[in-house]
Amino acid sequence: MKRLVLALALALCAPLLAAAETSGDLFVKGEAAAGEKLAGTCAACHGPAGVSGNPEWPSLAQQNARYTFEQLKAFKEGTRKNPLMSAQAAGLTEQNMRDLAAYFAEQTAKPGVASEESVAIAEPLYRAGDLERGILGCAGCHAPNGVGNPAAGYPKVAGQHATYTAKRLRAYRSGEGIETAHGKIMAAVAEKLTDEEIDALASYLNGLQIR
């Protein structure tokens, strides 16, 4: 039964991967130029042009616009909770959020480096999952190169800070921040991961590059 459920889930994700390289602006319809004018405040935490210099805060550069837009809406509506981000999103209009999402989607990301030890543990999990434990391969929704899936709103994970990614995976595993539909999907995956696997995946993703 586990194999059947996993196969069906992968089948649902697979048709969406064809849109993974498509500009997220097709889905959000934001204006990047307008978003640039609003992004100055974001730079304090997320860095100039969305390249965060603090490993505690995520980089937003090259993130697909639909995901960024939906997360901003979630912060504003309270379905994703963070005191700082909720306060920042409270004053944004829907068009502001669309414009910011379009702006960050057009910026260039800066990948990190994966530790050699992490690859042996993380790569099989990322690409194929673990059928015996009911873990879906991350690539099924986030694409083999980590670019994500703009059509489905699945985020780009390649190049993201390892510290931030590990923190988010642990939060999903503990049941925090699962109010959104994507959060519930991630919680179902993360609850089966060990600390070693989380740390390995976080390092692996930091070094994963979009080509």
**Helix/strand/coil for 194:** coil
Q: Is the pLDDT of residue 3 over 60?
A: no
Count how many domains the chain has. 2
Whether 75 and 143 share a structural domain: no
Q: What are phi and psi of 110, to 5 degrees?
A: -120, 105
Whether 141 and 189 share a structural domain: yes
Whether 94 and 133 share a structural domain: no
High-pLDDT (> 70) share of the chain, %? 87
Asked if residue 12 belongs to a domain, the reply is no
Q: Is the pLDDT of residue 12 over 60?
A: no
Look over the chain and give the mean of its residue pLDDT values, rounded to a whole number.
88
- Outline where DSSP puts E strands in the chain: none
Q: Of 105, 121, 156, which residue sits at a domain end?
A: 105
How far apart are alpha carbons 173 and 193 in whole angstroms?
A: 8
Domain of residue 33: give its range: 25-105
Give, as one character, the DSSP assignment of residue 156: P
**Cα first-last separation, the chain:** 36
| pTM (2 d.p.) | 0.85
Band of residue 163 on the pLDDT scale cut at 50, 70, 90:
very high
More confidently predicted of 124 and 182: 124
Whether 121 and 197 share a structural domain: yes
Q: Is the pLDDT of residue 35 over 70?
A: yes
Encoded tokens for 159: 């190049």
Per-residue model confidence (pLDDT) at position 23: 44
Whether 90 and 134 share a structural domain: no
Per-residue model confidence (pLDDT) at position 179: 77
Whether 54 and 94 share a structural domain: yes
Whether 129 and 93 share a structural domain: no
Asked if residue 174 belongs to a domain, the reply is yes
- Check which CATH number belongs to the domain holding 178 and give it: 1.10.760.10
Whether 134 and 100 share a structural domain: no
